[in-house]
Amino acid sequence: METEQSTVLYEAVAGDISSLIRSGTLAPGERVPSVRRLSRQRGVSVSTVVQAYRVLEDRGLIEARPQSGYYVRPQQRVLQEPSVSAPPRTPQLVGVHALVSRVLESAQATGMVPLGTAIPYAELVPTAKLRRILTDVARRMPDTIATYSLPPGRDELRRQIALRARDYGVRLEANEVVVTNGCVEAVNLCLRAVAKPGDVVALESPTYFGLLQIIESLGMKALEVPTHPRSGISLDALELAIERQRVKACLLMPTVSNPLGSTMSEAAKNRLVKMLADRGVPLIEDAVYSALHFGPVQPRAAKAYDRAGNVLLCSSFTKTLAPGLRVGWVAPGRYFEKVQMLKFISSVGVSDLLQVTIASFLENGGYDRLLRTLRKTYESQVRLFTQAVSRYFPAGTKVTRPTGGYVLWVEMPGGTDALELYERALAERISLSPGQMFSASNRYRNCLRLNCGIPWSQQTEDVLRRVGELAAECVRPGFS
Ligand SMILES: Cc1ncc(COP(=O)(O)O)c(C=O)c1O
């Protein structure tokens, strides 16, 4: 059990060693004092020093070499960020599903290292607590099993979601919320509520392939809009696009986008919401990663600026609490009735048993503490993966600086064929997500999305080193 005093002690030891490294007194490649020696020198316990060295390893400052001790890590290259994207200006019919399902299926094979799929850190899913709550609900409330669950969903869960909406800077009443089967269903219902086949939907570029698949399945067209890897969609480009053609809806991730990890500023969100309301274009806001923002407070959602009921806010508990329970929600603004009706005709309700289980966890299961742990863990994971990409990927590679979440977008040198890299990695039981999955126009052929939700270990580092080597072999001069 960690006490406050022990934390202060190991942080102090870690701080001293990192000062020595930063000042160059301990040079890259040099051995740092052994655990026993430092423990004697500082008059602290061996476990305090071990803990301090673990922290320094997590921060990428030192590395353990088996049977030899700890060494200062070699200097890092600092990789550039990708530039603002430049997708085509015309709407496209989408055809990503075949590639996406091939990649997702191959990722499921046993023994595969899941570097492509964005799956949460399994150790942090509170399965034991959820199992206890679920059993208790099933025993106390047999009706949750014996009767139909109907939309818009259970009051106790909708109340918890309305309370949590404050974290998004949004005032919501429980009766403004529809419970869904995950965020994907929420987005699907919203798109069907506001647009029809053939209509044009504006998106960030690159964007999450699941959103493209929904557009594809509904026969709509995707208009990819230039997007900055840190600050999100270009509002000037979006405005111009809306002036040029009839855009029926915008489907965006203004806070912690996938795959870029971008977050729009509050001012940009305000401008976005006003611009779309003035033009009568609804905004479907996918906020599934918002709670995993790395900043001290969760940024406000675009919905916080909505005065006209024009923003349909979608999210879920799949990325933070229980991926397998598939409980999500939407606050559809003035499209409430339509979304509720569509929910009913597509899949009736969401299991009452699961809804009450999630509601009970939100009420007294320590969700805020869990979120703090997730953010801290993912921030450190993203840092470690970024360092490994810097170390092992070919010269000229660029990488995002995500504002939250657990994916990295890696842009390899222009001639790299990410599909070839995907095939070659697959043969070595490593699954990757090639960039083409994230575009309606077959862009990003030299890009990859990396899942940083895999616990860090020597094996993880070895896998990233191998992917870097394969990437170097997939660079084809003249191919771009
Ligand atoms: C941006 C985004 N939206 C939605 C989803 C899917 O959410 P859910 O599992 O809650 O349906 C994902 C999953 O990766 C995602 O990245």
Domains in the chain: how many in total? Answer: 3
Q: Are residues 362 and 373 in the same domain?
A: no
Position 84 pLDDT exceeds 80: yes
87, part of any domain: no
- Going from the Cα of 189 to the center of ligand 1, the distance in angstroms, rounded, reads 14
Domain closes at, from 315, 338, 366 = 366
Do 100 and 174 share a domain, yes or no?
no
Same domain, 305 and 260: yes
Helices (H), 149-208: 155-164, 182-194
Residue with tokens 């020597």: 458
Among residues 366, 396, 431, which one ends one of the domains? 366
What mean pLDDT do residues 236-260 have? 97
Q: Is residue 83 part of a domain?
A: no
What does residue 103 show for φ and ψ, rounded to 5 degrees?
Answer: -65, -45
pLDDT of residue 119: 80
Q: Is residue 151 part of a domain?
A: yes
Atom of ligand 1 at shortest distance to CA of 185? 11
* Residue 480 included in any domain: no
Same domain, 46 and 143: no
Q: Looking at 108-207, which runs of residues are DSSP E strands?
A: 113-114, 178-181, 200-205
Indicate the pairing of strand 283-286 with strand 311-316: parallel
**Same domain as 207, residue 144:** yes
329 in a structural domain? yes
pLDDT in tens, 365-400: 999 999 999 999 999 999 999 999 999 999 999 999
Q: How confident is the model at residue 234 (pLDDT cuts 50, 70, 90)?
A: very high
pTM (two decimals)? 0.87
Ligand 1 centroid, distance to 225 Cα (angstroms):
20
166 lies in some domain: yes
Average pLDDT (254-272) is: 98
**The residue type at 339:** V
Q: What is the DSSP string of 432-449?
A: -EEGGGG-TTS--TTEEE
CATH of the domain at 221: 3.40.640.10
> Based on the domain organization, do 374 and 347 belong to the same domain?
no
Closest atom of ligand 1 relative to the 318 alpha carbon:
10
331 and 196, same domain (yes or no): yes
The confidence score (pLDDT) of residue 479 equals: 53
Residues 467, 421 within the same domain:
yes
The rounded Å distance from CA 200 to ligand 1 centre is 21
Rounded mean pLDDT, 177-200: 98
Domain end position, chosen among 314, 340, 366: 366
Q: What is the CATH number of the domain that holds 53?
A: 1.10.10.10
Mean pLDDT of 180-187: 98
Q: What is the mean pLDDT of residues 128-133?
A: 97
Q: How far is the CA of 302 from the centre of ligand 1 (A)?
A: 18
331 beta partners: 313
Tell whether the model's pLDDT for residue 60 goes beyond 80.
Answer: no
In terms of residue numbers, what domain contains 413?
92-122+369-473
- Supply the pLDDT for residue 61: 85
> Are both 203 and 332 inside the same structural domain?
yes
Q: Residue whose CA is closest, atom 13 of ligand 1? A: 118
**The total number of residues written for the chain in this structure:** 480
Confidence band, pLDDT 50/70/90 cuts, at residue 18: confident
Average pLDDT for residues 107-127, to the nearest whole number? 88
Out of 208, 263, 325, give the residue to mutate to test ligand 1, the one with the largest number of ligand atoms within 8 Å of its CB: 208
* Averaged pLDDT of the chain: 94
Residue 1: pLDDT above 50? no
Q: Which of 125, 131, 118 is nearest to 322 (CA)?
A: 125
Question: How many angstroms separate the CA atoms of 82 and 230, rounded?
Answer: 9
Asked whether residue 104 falls in the same domain as residue 191, the answer is no
Residue 237 counted as domain residue:
yes
Return d(Cα 447, Cα 102) in angstroms, integer: 18
Q: Based on the fold, state whether residues 106 and 54 are members of the same structural domain.
A: no
Give the Cβ contact number of residue 471 at 10 Å. Answer: 27
Report the Cα 342 to chain-centroid distance in Å.
27
- Distance, CA of 399 to CA of 386 (rounded, Å): 7
| Domain-located, residue 277 | yes
Q: Is the model's pLDDT at 5 over the cut of 70? A: no
pLDDT surpassing 60 at residue 2: no
258 & 345 share domain? yes
Ligand 1 site residues, Cβ closer than 6 angstroms: 118, 182-184, 208, 210, 253, 258, 286, 288, 316, 318, 328
Ranges 6-10, 245-249, 354-358: which has the least confidence: 6-10
For the stretch 429-443, pLDDT in tens is: 999 999 999 999 999
| Dist. CA 430 → ligand 1 center (Å) | 22
